[in-house]
Amino acid sequence: MRLAPLFLLAVSLAAQDKPQALTNARIVPIAGDPIESGTLVVHRGKIVAVGANVSIPADADHHDASGRTILPGYVDTHSHIGGVSGGDQSSPIQPEVRTLDSINPRDARMQKAQAGGITTVNIMSGSGHLLSGQTTYIKLRDAKTIEELAVRREDGSIAGGIKMANGTNPRRKPPFPGTRAKAAALAREQLIKAQEYAAKVASAEDGEGPDRDLAMEALAEALSGRRIVHFHTHRQDDIITVLRLAREFELRVVLQHVSDARFVAQEIADSEQVVGSSLILIDSPGGKIEAKDNAFSNGVALERVKANVGFHTDDGVTDSRLFARQAALAVRAGMSREAALYGLTMAGAIMLDLEDRVGSLEVGKDADFILLDGDPLSVYTHVLETWVEGKKVFDRSDPKDRLYAVGGFGASHDQWMHVHDLESEGH
Residues contacting 156, CB < 8 A, separation 6+ = none
**Is 106 among the domain residues?**
yes
For 127-145, what is the HEC assignment? Answer: CCCCEEEECEEEECCCCCC
d(CA 269, CA 304): 10
* Residues 230 and 179 placed together within one structural domain of the fold: yes
* Residues 164 and 216 placed together within one structural domain of the fold: yes
**Strands of 136-139's sheet in order across:** 74-79, 118-123, 136-139
Supply the CATH number for residue 173's domain: 3.20.20.140
Q: pLDDT value at position 287?
A: 64
Domain termination site, one of 351, 381, 416? 351
Q: pLDDT value at position 146?
A: 96
* Residues 235 and 283 placed together within one structural domain of the fold: yes
* Residues 43 and 86 placed together within one structural domain of the fold: no
**Is 356 among the domain residues?**
no
**Is 23 among the domain residues?**
yes
**Is 394 among the domain residues?**
yes
Q: Tell me if residue 30 falls in helix, strand or coil.
A: coil
* Residues 324 and 190 placed together within one structural domain of the fold: yes
* Residues 89 and 129 placed together within one structural domain of the fold: yes
Q: pLDDT value at position 293?
A: 82
Q: Considering its fold, how many domains does the chain have in total?
A: 2
d(CA 162, CA 246): 13
d(CA 80, CA 182): 27
**Is 247 among the domain residues?**
yes
**Is 362 among the domain residues?**
no
**Owning domain of residue 18:** 3-72+367-406
Which ranges of the chain have pLDDT less than 70?
1-16, 283-287, 417-427
**Is 361 among the domain residues?**
no
* Residues 79 and 67 placed together within one structural domain of the fold: no
Report pTM.
0.93
Supply the CATH number for residue 67's domain: 2.30.40.10
338-369 confidence digits (pLDDT tens):
999 999 999 999 999 999 999 999 999 999 99
**Is 411 among the domain residues?**
no
* Residues 68 and 88 placed together within one structural domain of the fold: no
d(CA 155, CA 152): 8
* Residues 66 and 81 placed together within one structural domain of the fold: no
* Residues 175 and 93 placed together within one structural domain of the fold: yes
For the CA atoms of 238, 251, 223, 96, the dihedral, rounded to the nearest 10 degrees, stands at 40
* Residues 308 and 258 placed together within one structural domain of the fold: yes
Q: pLDDT value at position 418?
A: 62
Rg (CA), the chain: 22
Q: pLDDT value at position 17?
A: 80
* Residues 63 and 87 placed together within one structural domain of the fold: no
